[in-house]
Amino acid sequence: MTDAIRRLRLSHVVLPLPSPVSDAKVLTGRQKPLTETVLLFVEVSTEQGFDGMGFSYSKRAGGPAQYTHLAEIADVAIGQDPSDIDRIYQSLLWAGASVGRSGVATQAIAALDVALWDLKARRAGLPLAKLLGAHRDSCRVYNTSGGFLQASVDEIKEKATASLEAGIGGIKIKVGQPDWKTDLDRVAAIREHLGDTPFMVDANQQWDRARARRMCRELEQHDLIWIEEPLDAWDAAGHADLSRAFDTPIATGEMLTSVPEHMALIDAGYRGIVQPDAPRIGGITPFLRFAALAAHAGLALAPHYAMEIHLHLAAAYPTEPWVEHFEWLNPLFDERIEIRDGRMWLPERAGLGFTLSEQMRAYTKESATFGRP
């Protein structure tokens, strides 16, 4: 028996961070410290009484635009069968065709797309990973939130130790400062502190090609799991060249906002680690489309941020991935993900496995409802 979408509720949520954080884009003067994350939540209900929840997000700018765009086109989804996720996706793309098929246009749709996948898995009584076809019940997990550049080396060491004691398996820190020697000193100090613990660094796009080659060469000695975004995110050829030149894997992709942008890496001969972000690429539907192509190309996967979504998608990837741990979104949900033995474990709860908290309601700045109660 077919079903139909009865009601959609959109929420514009502003989540303050406990304290401002800075990566290399701040120290090089390109951005201001990050103080909050803005999210677009979608709650979907059907005629047969099934529900789903999804979200997308933005940092520094774009959150109100996501909310406004989806509010303009959301009524197109009312009455459609929630099982026909790609059909609904295409109808929303056409409803907002004049603003394109990437960036804010699809990041707005992403929140509804995630909610529909959550609903489909809940209706099946399965965790989303099991609905997709899981290859594993847990994924390797690393922490980033303790390694930002406003923190001293001693602070990073303390936070890294706490993360490892909490069961996290790897540590990532930020690099890419104006003084590259400071970067190397910090990396050496943290590597010494961590011993043989898996260790990653992230330059957040702050090197040109010449500096990136020199830094990658210097960093080879530290046995890193990867060097992330050494170049501008859209420099597919540059990232491909680096991925073939060094033993340390190169990772990139978190900033890309469409499947074609990610495919440019593969077309350029990239051999590194891909880091698609489901809310940024436009939802789970395009994420899965690119993941199939990345797996065919033999690329490793380490999705960016949003572990509440990406744990499921990583668990369904053919080769062993990494999932990024950020505790920032914890206040928005009633449940927590189990982390132990260096791994993040799939919840047994259906769908994504999360319900929205009262704190999420308190952080909501505006909301809109479409359809009928």
Helix axis angle for 259-267 and 236-245, nearest 10°, is: 40
Taking the C-alpha atoms of residue 113 and residue 118, their distance in angstroms, rounded to an integer, is 9
Would residue 102 count as lying in a domain?
yes
For residue 229, give the amino acid letter. E
Q: Determine, yes or no, domain membership for 352.
A: no
Residue-level pLDDT at 302: 98
How far is the first Cα of the chain from the last one, in angstroms, to the nearest whole number? 21
Residue 25 lies in a domain: yes
| 23 is known to lie in a ligand binding site | yes
Instruction: Report the SS3 class of residue 57.
Output: strand
pLDDT above 90: percentage of residues in the chain: 85
Q: Do 140 and 182 belong together in one domain?
A: yes
- Summarised one tens digit per residue, pLDDT across range 297-329 is 999 999 999 999 999 999 999 999 999 998 889
What's the number of domains the chain is made of? Answer: 2
Judge if 34 and 153 occupy the same domain: no
Residue 50: the pLDDT is: 97
Q: Is residue 351 a part of any domain in this protein?
A: no
Do 111 and 56 share a structural domain?
yes
Co-location of 12 and 139 in the same domain: no
- The reply to whether 143 sits in an annotated binding site is no
Q: What is the pTM of this model?
A: 0.94
Consult the annotation and say whether 172 binds a ligand. yes
Q: What angle do CA 131, 56, 268 make, to 5 degrees?
A: 80
Would you say 15 and 43 are in contact if contact means Cβ atoms under 8 Å apart? no
- Note whether 148 and 259 are same-domain residues: yes
Tell whether 350 is covered by a domain: no
CATH number at residue 77: 3.30.390.10
257 lies in the same domain as 224:
yes
Q: Is residue 237 part of a domain?
A: yes
- Same domain for 120 and 138, yes or no, is no
Query: Is 165 assigned to a binding site?
Result: no
Verify that 116 and 157 share a domain, yes or no.
no
State whether 192 and 314 are in the same domain: yes
CB 174 within 8 A of CB 148: yes
Residue spans of the chain under pLDDT 70: 1
- Residues spanned by the domain of 15: 5-125+357-371
Was 51 annotated as part of a binding site? no
Residues annotated as part of the active site: 174, 304
**According to the model, what pLDDT value does residue 141 have?**
97
* CATH code of the domain in which 236 resides: 3.20.20.120
Span 5-36, pLDDT tens digits:
999 999 999 999 888 877 878 878 887 888 88
